[in-house]
A and B are shown apart, each in its own frame.
Chain A
Amino acid sequence: EDQVTQSPEALRLQEGESSSLNCSYTVSGLRGLFWYRQDPGKGPEFLFTLYSAGEEKEKERLKATLTKKESFLHITAPKPEDSATYLCAVQEDQAGTALIFGKGTTLSVSS
């Protein structure tokens, strides 16, 4: 059973059409939840870290939120340059543990 599940696998939007990506997790204790963006052929690039339920972080058209069992990445009025794969990862509440990644959501925004 996957500990981190992202949905949908793929999402196609028109420019300006807002939507949300979901990341649900089942780890017993959460130290932190991370969102990354990955462009084709490149390494993941850090976007946000969320630590506790109720926390929100924003960057340009992106806003990440966290509950006790899931996180959402809201994309407001997306542009074609927002097209990428968005990865969610969690770190369990043990010192030094590695991140557990979801399989990602591939977002395509057309003009």
Chain B
Amino acid sequence: DVKVTQSSRYLVKRTGEKVFLECVQDMDHENMFWYRQDPGLGLRLIYFSYDVKMKEKGDIPEGYSVSREKKERFSLILESASTNQTSMYLCASREQGVLGANVLTFGAGSRLTVL
């Protein structure tokens, strides 16, 4: 089974701090994604990456950046954390598929609180 590991389950940071959320997958998947999940708003796509060193903005990229230097690792960076970035962050990976709709496999999530 594909395993997607998010290194931090719970983080508490101060406003203005730089925050790194790390995600590693072990099945050689090309595509990786970062979502945030908030009550009443559902899952919203922040950034995604089709392959190493490639990235695309999702629906809510403002205040975030990403890094994909190696195929298995996709990092989400909050350059200067703000209280409105308090949320559950979910990483996911997927095998690149030309024809079919391939399943997203999610990590357990990282709950970030910004004070």
Contact residues of A between 10 and 55, Cβ < 8 Å to B: 31-32, 34, 36, 41-46, 49, 51
Contacting pair B101 A96 (CB below 8 A): no
Contacting pair A103 B104 (CB below 8 A): no
What residue of chain B has the Cβ atom nearest to residue A44's Cβ?
Answer: B106
B90 is an interface residue with CB less than 8 A from chain A: yes
The docked-state distance in angstroms from the alpha carbon of A45 to that of B81 is 29
Q: How many A-B residue pairs have CB under 8 A?
A: 54
Q: What is the interface size of chain A, counting residues whose CB is below 8 A from a CB of the partner?
A: 23
Contacting pair B41 A51 (CB below 8 A): no
Contacting pair B90 A98 (CB below 8 A): no
13 contacts between A and B (CB under 8 A): A32-B100, A41-B109, A41-B111, A42-B109, A44-B43, A44-B90, A44-B104, A46-B104, A95-B98, A98-B33, A98-B45, A101-B42, A102-B42
A100 CB → nearest B CB, Å: 8
A78 is an interface residue with CB less than 8 A from chain B: no
Residues of A near any B CB (own CB < 8 A): 31-32, 34, 36, 41-46, 49, 51, 87, 89, 91, 95-96, 98-99, 101-104
Question: What A residues does B103 contact at CB under 8 A?
Answer: 34, 46, 49
Contacting pair A42 B108 (CB below 8 A): yes
